[in-house]
Structure 1
């Protein structure tokens, strides 16, 4: 008489199932409150699911064979919820779904933070969902190329970054080339390609990243623009990259009991950027920029004052595109008076013996942000690593060696010119903080040196 293992049968409350069992003679259930079953003459067994719960069921045939079932009756809402979960979880890449009893287990590694947030939201909505996914997501890396430039407002208009500028067409597009070599300039970080023959005026350019960078570099060389900071920050999607170029100024504050307390406030160029990459490879970023400097014209008892320009925004760009933030105006007025002493101070006639000058300077702060997606085997990043290794190899041609090897005979005798040195003993000798106390009662002991 053969006996099979228990087969799992899942039903909803109120459901009826017909099992085909050739030669079925009799049937028995463990919990009649949960299920009810009868054997018919047509060699079938009809199972009625009454209430939520679990019950065993045994079926015997005329030949003495026995069939064992484990029946799980779930509410109708639970079955519908499981179908909804399967439909929702199947849309998440790298997620593995397994049904175990009345639970749904979702597993997976290297999931994006966005997908993990979706699974967490589903787990809070559906109690039968068990989240076993990896807690550390695998996110793409974003290289953030930032330029913080202070330049005259007129020069910023010439860059075509002001839509209200008198330049026709707004932002100018085109491509610059080297006249001597007839090379077209590509986007930043890429190798320019050559043109066959000589260039003509009909050749144009497409894109503005390289053009803007070239203008800024030219303005900085002649002194018209000041590059306050040019960091390149690397961050994973969803993480925050921070940068500060400046210093800290001290100032004094008073506590509740009247005692003075000195604290330091940072100043300079401060950046906080949080990039987020979606499935369509669009970079959504939140940027916080603050540019501050010590105000020499205002001094307080507690410490110097700071002139601060601050901005916070969120933007969407594609990889390699440049976002420009502008409008941080700064106006400075300088007055100078020259003349003959005494005579230039005379009322009415003093202007004949002296001169007055007034110089107004209006500058604007512009921030250029270019996010670039970095792949696993990015050629530009590998080139940087190789260049860094070359610099290290040139600066440190020989590996660092210990003057006293830790174990046994010297392993670096060749590096030390074959000179024999004594092995380092942690309990005594050069470099040890311990001395041997031979007068101890129970063997040799070690005591720290004074």
Structure 2
């Protein structure tokens, strides 16, 4: 055990002699060899306490900080820091000992990294060491021009892992990461994300949040199903063949809906395509407004009630392409049969839902059914009205029309190429 301790001490000293500092925890002792009778100078007695033992010096880390010890023509830098920062520094110094580019400076409370980043993998290694040791450092190195594009791409990917907005990143000189002022509410989350990379966030009113652009295609359709029940004899006026399509969601569901609409068994109520940034809502209304008189004490006011197809969607996206969508749909229309005191009533169908998607796909929503019942009769004129016998010369048809509102939602993240074209050339602008 004693031989192992002596070996570790010698390793510490050899590293220090090679320009690396001697690392101590607060309250930790270590011993170094020194010439007998050599003059010893300690730049900070508050940080390191020295006890001369003749052929050696006993050092004690008293408080956090750094000190330089001189003896016999030798200068030794000593850093007193926490256990996690000590382990982090030892790992980092060993890693960069034979790797040119980055220079690791052991400091308290956070280490410093300077020099030039020649390999993205070196920064990744620093990030891993920070996480494993719960350490911290400040990254002040320059980025080599040859890897600027790679670093920008990889850094953006890393800084949006938690679904945060893409910050503005500058790699000219010192690496700068800026967020819009609205992101300051997420300062804690952003700091945790930047810490492994040795970066600090800046929040500016002049920085615009870069969030994914999401396109949401919505089709609201009303599909009717007829159920008929006949009594007595039927006297058709002409012969006709009818093909009733069986409605199902095909791969190209828009073609299916178009076919249903042409055959008279379906109707597309609305088919908007909405564009919005992740985290922002988009709304759509196809209909109108009806004025309603509101009488209050000593005053009369007019309020406007909207009707038609109303949509509201709130999509969110993260760096993995995962989508989180809140959707509310309402289809309403005036109902004169239920009006009271001159005020119209409204029929309303609504759906509110929330769903998650891993890739572009279509969600089908349904279940809102409306029933309309009617009765019709046909037969020979005169004979069909004879009591009892008229039943044999006529037929009655009880019809029940059932219409189901179905909603098809297809959200997708607009690619960077599409996003750029939308910004540079808005729809309706010519060359």
Distance 1:298 1:268, change over 3 A: same
- 1:113-169 deviations in whole A, cap 9, x for unaligned? 8354987347599999985166755333222111111111469982235xxxxxxxx
- 1:66-119 deviations in whole A, cap 9, x for unaligned? x58585544879989989x9559869xxxxx7438xxxxxxx768438354987
Q: CA RMSD in A?
A: 5.2
Q: SS state of the match for residue 114, structure 1? A: coil
- After TM superposition, list the pairs within 5 Å mapping 1:137-148 onto structure 2: 137-148=209-220
In the alignment of these two chains, the number of paired residues is 314
Shift of 1:250: 2.5
**Is the CA contact (8 Å cut-off) linking 2:138 and 2:199 kept in structure 1?**
no
Residue in structure 1 matched with residue 274 of structure 2 by the alignment: 233
Shift of 1:331: 1.4
Residue in structure 2 matched with residue 150 of structure 1 by the alignment: 222
**Is the CA contact (8 Å cut-off) linking 1:113 and 1:138 kept in structure 2?**
no
Distance 1:71 1:98, change over 3 A: closer
Q: Which runs of 5+ in 2 are unaligned?
A: 1-19, 89-108, 112-125, 140-154, 166-185, 227-242, 379-383
**Is the CA contact (8 Å cut-off) linking 1:287 and 1:313 kept in structure 2?**
yes
The two structures have a TM-score, normalised by structure 1, of: 0.53
Shift of 1:321: 1.7
Shift of 1:364: 0.4
Q: Which runs of 5+ in 1 are unaligned?
A: 1-6, 92-96, 101-107, 162-207, 339-343, 394-450
Question: Quick check: 1:48 aligned with 2:60?
Answer: yes
**Is the CA contact (8 Å cut-off) linking 2:328 and 2:352 kept in structure 1?**
yes
Question: Quick check: 1:99 aligned with 2:138?
Answer: yes
In 1, Cα distance between the equivalents of 2:52 and 2:420? 74
Shift of 1:251: 2.4
In 2, Cα distance between the equivalents of 1:278 and 1:380? 19
The two structures have a TM-score, normalised by structure 2, of: 0.55
Distance 1:21 1:62, change over 3 A: closer
**Is the CA contact (8 Å cut-off) linking 1:287 and 1:314 kept in structure 2?**
yes
Shift of 1:231: 0.6
Residue in structure 1 matched with residue 201 of structure 2 by the alignment: 132
**Is the CA contact (8 Å cut-off) linking 1:9 and 1:70 kept in structure 2?**
yes
Shift of 1:297: 1.6
Distance 1:331 1:258, change over 3 A: farther
Shift of 1:276: 2.8
Shift of 1:249: 2.2
Question: Quick check: 1:25 aligned with 2:39?
Answer: yes
Which segment is superposed worse, 67-76 or 239-248?
A: 67-76
